Chains A and B, each alone.
Chain A
Amino acid sequence: MRLTLHVWRQPGRDAPGRIVEYDAPDISPDLSFLEMLDLVNERLIAKGEDPIAFDHDCREGICGSCGMMINGSAHGPMKLTTACQLHMRTFKDGDEIWVEPWRAKAFPVIWDLVVDRGALDRIIQAGGFISAPTGGAPDGNALPVSKQSADEAMDAAACIGCGACVAACPNASASLFTAAKITHLGVLPQGQPERWRRALAMVKQMDLEGFGGCTLFGECMEACPKGISLDTLMRMNRDYLVAAVREREERAEAGTG
């Protein structure tokens, strides 16, 4: 196949960026999208030009490193597929392909297609964990967990933290990412003691990072390579609301007491 690529090039966080056109001949349909970029880069280097920088690592759709807008869609046109698992057979000879980084205020561009997703780690730091210091755990079977809960937790825990939900959202909201973690931990009995604190803290951090609010467009779910469900958003909103009310009541009680 012969393709024409239009790729966002930006040599540094504060440098101006622009779209650059590249001719990409002799592309095998069996290549993954990232292998296609590898090949384009090899040719650029041979010509003495700087290769296109992009994040990637496992190349099997699980590490969440890769992510780019491909023809306006996060991770490209195939549903439930990360850029590294997208294969060139999805495209046809002569196609023009536009490749851009995630666009969100909370994800500043570092270089070309590489963005800083540290905000997602900080949302986890705010409360995306169960405090279970090493050593004191009871037997794994001491607390039965219904298969339904375990499955629901696993569905939400499948999030790979790639940021596609943010990139796809017209508001650049990180709600699906945050809700996935709140759901994963919130449906398990082990997650109950910190459930309300977790919802408050994570949502607050999401706002602090400059992500937009959720207005239920649902674009996030469409773009999510792991199929995280919008149901998680309902759970997050409910937990947040309950937590906020509880907090207000606790404060009031403390005030009167």
Chain B
Amino acid sequence: MADLTSRTPSGPLAESWDRHRFEMKLVSPANKRRYHVLVVGSGLAGSSAAASLSELGYGVSCFCFQDSPRRAHSIAAQGGINAAKNYANDGDSVWRLFYDTIKGGDFRAREANVYRLAQISVNIIDQCVAQGVPFAREYGGLLANRSFGGAQVARTFYARGQTGQQLLLGAYQALEKEIARGGVRMYDRHEMLELVVVDGRARGIVTRDLVSGAVEAHVADAVVLATGGYANVFYLSTNAKGCNVTATWRAYTRGAAFGNPCFTQIHPTCIPQAGEHQSKLTLMSESLRNDGRVWVPKRREDCAKAPGDIAEGDRDYFLERKYPSFGNLSPRDIASRAAKEVCDEGRGVGPGGRGVYLDFADPIQRLGEDVIRERYGNLFEMYERITAEDPYHSPMRIYPAAHYTMGGLWVDYNLMSTIPGLHVIGEANFSDHGANRLGASALMQGLADGYFVLPYTIGDYLASAKLAPVAADHAEFRRAIEAVEARTKRLLAIKGRRTVDSFHRELGHLMWEKCGMARNAAGLAQALERIPALRAEFWENVTVPGSGAALNQSLEKAGRVADFLEFAELICRDALHREESCGGHFREEHQTEDGEAKRDDEQFTYVAAWEYAGAGKDPVLRKEPLQFDSVHLATRSYK
């Protein structure tokens, strides 16, 4: 049974990270070069970790499936990054950012982790500025801040609507600097397909070279997964097409516990689906809600009318009505569910009635079109390019879409999974966001893990572990290579009648309907019945053209979808077991009279960590109880 000890330091919260850093063992400078670490993934967490570890002197190999580490999906984050700098002098503090994040996560995250995140947030901004990240500035030359969904202070730093891009380029450039220096060996167009565990410790991975098809073993002293989230289990999501669960799922089947898989985030401001061949959903930054007003017609019969023909009095600004103190800035889960609710009532707008208006007429009248163009110009252009509608003159239509996954591999305070030597950082772990992530906190967590947490904690592991030398022809590596090769062979040999995408689309639709924004026991039970059947059909009837010995994008997709077909079951199982509503997990059976989420702290103040029990066997649920010593477990209210 896996060890679920959180290794959270005891004592006062504010001192815990400092004390822990002192208590951790160090690897002496001369010895660092003797250790080799594999970093899988090159987004914010992966790039920053790989660069920082290399700067410390460790030998590092970094892997990404894209053609360059700069393409990782962190690049698409738009809005910003939070930090408790209190530059705006509006009452922010480390404690407030900590409290907001814990509360925003609906009290399902570890206090000590979140406090550390808030502490480190200030260092991240400094680090990024030093790297040349062109954050927005005020005329006096100081850094600009704005407020962002779910926060009442202006603590969000941003680089136009491309904050993720600029932060990633900063980390990518640091990584390239280390590649040039010889500290990091970069493997692009390589996909991790197995984790290798020797004597109970993670000692390497097996990858497929996506150009040559070569299956290769990589041996190391520790492995770091920075492979992102699994929102593509819904097929249509705001994630990049290549985002997948394969690396974390393979690690799970090798013994790493999976934490809170049902905690998925639906983002309220995405462009609604236009047709059946749509391949992804595009996010419109949440920052739009700073000025835009969300509404639908009060009466169903008005839905088909042009928005301009609906009188002010006939409009329902439902977020302002239901949540007067946060209004259009209500947190993502709340805003998403409210949109679903009005659409379920038949008051949605646009194709299929699955959309609500995000209207800029008021701010344009109040501030002028130029100000709105300066703030959101690139987003408005993007909207117009996709929909062929001009948001300066008619309101945008938006609808929630799967966006981020708070769940991920379980890790302790040191970001190590239940497999010693396997560390998990960024979105790939479950750690800091509880049941719901606040806007502009993903970039913060990815960089906190990569720049400022993992570089210390991995040293503690390496200094403590007595690692015997392992060769690439060790039996475990040979077994893993054979498993990868056999799987490839099997996928190619099926030669059925359905494409990989058609399976993915069907799975995604099922997950969205039964395990999306709102869930109930009956629907989840149906999904749990349907998923194994779909998976069985996949393994009998999928068609994967081409060979395994060359570039084969269908084969890449097939492997990822095969893993989603297994993983989907775990999400539903977790969602079914959690008989409460919290954050992004909304169980229809557990709501207040006015439709708000109803937590059950008595029974569910714990992390659900699922352990693999073998193929065809039910996974085992283990629990890490969550303790709240510093904050009071309150009902989340944004009214």
A252 CB within 8 Å of chain B: no
Q: Which residues of B contact A129 (CB under 8 A)?
A: 131, 173-174, 176-177
Q: B173, A130: Cβ atoms under 8 Å?
A: yes
Q: Does B235 count as interface, using CB distance less than 8 angstroms?
A: no
B277 at the interface (CB under 8 A from A): yes
CA distance A89 to B131 in the complex (A): 41
Q: How far is the CB of B414 from chain A (nearest CB, A)?
A: 18
B68:A134 contact, CB within 8 angstroms: no
Which B39-92 residues have C-beta < 8 A from chain A?
A: 48, 51-52, 55, 66-73, 75-76, 85, 87
Which residues of A from 74 to 98 have beta carbons under 8 Å from B? 80-81, 85, 87, 89
**B369 in the interface, Cβ–Cβ < 8 Å?**
no
Contact B134 A116 (CB under 8 A): no
Q: Would A117 and B67 count as touching, CB distance under 8 A?
A: yes
Mark out the residues of chain A between 97 and 129 whose CB falls within 8 Å of any chain B CB in the assembled complex.
Answer: 110-111, 114, 116-118, 120-121, 124-126, 128-129
Q: Does B617 contact A (CB under 8 A)?
A: no
A140 touches B143 (CB 8 A): yes
Q: Does A49 contact B (CB under 8 A)?
A: yes
Cα A71 to Cα B504 with chains together (Å): 32
CB atoms of B173 and A63 under 8 A apart: no
Q: Does A153 contact B (CB under 8 A)?
A: yes
Nearest Cβ on chain A to B227's Cβ, whole angstroms: 14
The residue on B at minimum CB distance from A154 is B134
A83 to chain B, nearest CB (A): 12
Which B residues lie within 8 Å of A42 (CB)?
499, 501-502
In this complex, how many residues of chain A approach chain B with their Cβ under 8 Å: the count is 77
User: Known contacts A85-B385, A116-B67, A134-B55; is A32 also within 8 Å of B279 by CB?
Assistant: yes
Interface residues of A in 43-69 (CB under 8 A from B): 45-46, 48-51, 53, 55-65
- A53 in contact with B75 (CB, 8 Å): no
Residues of B within 8 A of A85 (CB): 382, 385-386
A219 within 8 A of B: no
Mark each residue of chain A from 21 to 35: 1 if its CB lies under 8 Å from any CB of chain B, else 0.
000000010111011
A147 and B71: CB pair below 8 A? no
Q: Is A188 on the interface with B (CB-CB < 8 A)?
A: yes
Chain A residues with Cβ below 8 Å from B274 are 30
A150 near B134 with CB under 8 A, answer yes
Asked if A51 contacts B134 (CB within 8 A), the reply is no
Contact check: which of A49, A137, A160 meets B127 at CB < 8 Å? Answer: A137
8 Å CB interface, A161-193 against B: 161, 184-185, 188, 190-191
Does the CB pair B240–A59 fall under 8 Å?
yes
- Among the listed stretches B336-344, B527-535, B542-550, which one makes contact with chain A, having 4 or more residues with CB under 8 Å of it? B542-550
Known: A57-B73, A150-B136. A190 touches B130 (CB 8 A): yes
A215 within 8 A of B: no
Give Cα A85 to B282, complex, Å: 10
Q: Are A53 and B143 in touch, CB under 8 angstroms? A: no
Q: Is B308 an interface residue (CB 8 A)?
A: no
Contact indicator per residue, chain B 521-560, by CB within 8 Å of chain A (1) or not (0): 0000000000000000000000101100011011000000
Nearest CB of B to A154, in Å? 4
Which of B166, B242, B543 interacts with A157 by CB under 8 Å? B166
User: Which of A116, A137, A185 lies in contact with B126, CB distance below 8 A?
Assistant: A137
A132 to B382, CA, bound (A): 34
Q: Which residues 556-603 in B have Cβ within 8 Å of A in the complex?
A: none
With A110-B551, A157-B169 in contact, is A188–B177 under 8 Å at CB? Answer: no
Given the known A-B contacts A35-B278, A60-B76, A111-B551, are A146 and B55 also in contact in the complex, defined by CB atoms under 8 Å? no
In the complex, whether B125 has a CB less than 8 A from a CB of chain A is yes
Query: Are A140 and B85 interface neighbours, CB within 8 A?
Result: yes
Q: Are B240 and A53 in contact (CB-based, < 8 A)?
A: no
> A38 interface residue, CB < 8 Å from B?
yes
Q: Distance (Å) between the CB of B415 and the closest chain A CB?
A: 16
Q: Does A216 contact B (CB under 8 A)?
A: no
Q: Complex formed: what's the CA distance from A140 to B546 in Å?
A: 52
